[in-house]
């Protein structure tokens, strides 16, 4: 696998510089951490997900989705699924007190590496047109705007490019 691998770890200023790890975001993990995930998600521009949306089965969702955890507490997540030969990011968010520590980048690179391993041709994500911070972050990570879709931009990238990007 190219890029970041499972068990990737680092440190966070949160919780007295607690070490963090990237872990699979499984159905069980969603159940255990639902309230924490929803709090992180609520800070994202757009409509927050309901509990049912978190548990919704999508193609390869449970194999592709990841979260960053420190001391058993989620600091961020990326929910993805397989769609039309691509891996699509449905949600990516990092807790406000963990911004600018590279966690979003680690999540993108990890899932991009999984996309490469699956032979995905593209890595896609939609961003609300008013979410300038996310748009800039994703463009820096290697995504480009493919088209406008209502109030959103559809961005796309080559998975191997995102997985290798530093």
CATH match for 9-164 among 3.40.630.30, 3.40.50.720, 3.40.50.2300, 3.40.50.300 = 3.40.630.30
Backbone torsion region of residue 39, taken as left when φ is above 0, otherwise alpha when ψ lies between -120 and 50, otherwise beta: alpha
Predicted pLDDT at 3: 37
Encoded tokens for 32: 């255990």
The DSSP bridge pattern shows strands 19-24 and 66-70 to be antiparallel
Length of the chain: 166
SS3 content of the chain, % helix, strand, coil (to 5): 40, 30, 30
Encoded tokens for 129: 């047109």
Predicted pLDDT at 14: 45
pTM above 0.95, yes or no: no
Predicted pLDDT at 160: 95
Rounding to the nearest 10 degrees, give the CA dihedral for residues 26, 31, 35, 41: 30
Find the DSSP H helices in the chain.
14-17, 27-42, 51-55, 61-64, 103-118, 132-140, 159-164
Q: Where are the domains of the chain?
A: 9-164
Tell me how far apart the alpha carbons of residues 61 and 81 are, in angstroms, rounded to a whole number.
4
Predicted pLDDT at 43: 83
pLDDT, tens digit only, all 166 positions of the chain: 333 444 554 444 444 357 999 999 999 999 999 999 999 999 876 788 999 999 999 999 999 999 999 999 999 999 999 999 999 999 999 998 898 889 999 999 999 999 999 999 999 999 999 989 999 999 999 999 999 989 999 999 999 999 998 5
């Amino acid at each position: 696998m190219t890029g970041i691998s499972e068990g990737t770890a680092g440190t966070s200023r949160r919780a007295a510089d607690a070490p963090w790890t990237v872990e699979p975001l499984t159905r069980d993990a969603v159940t255990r951490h639902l309230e924490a995930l929803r709090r992180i998600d609520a800070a994202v521009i757009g409509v927050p997900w309901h509990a049912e949306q978190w548990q919704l089965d999508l193609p390869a969702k449970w194999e592709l989705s990841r979260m960053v955890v420190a001391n058993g507490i989620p600091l961020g997540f990326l929910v993805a699924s397989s769609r039309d030969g691509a891996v699509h990011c449905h949600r990516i968010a990092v807790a406000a007190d963990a911004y600018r520590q590279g966690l979003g980048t680690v999540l993108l690179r990890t899932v991009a590496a999984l996309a490469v391993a699956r032979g995905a041709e593209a890595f896609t994500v939609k961003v609300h047109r008013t979410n300038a911070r996310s748009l800039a972050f994703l463009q820096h990570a290697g995504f480009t705007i493919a088209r406008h879709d209502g109030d959103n931009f559809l961005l796309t990238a080559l998975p191997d490019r995102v997985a290798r990007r530093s």
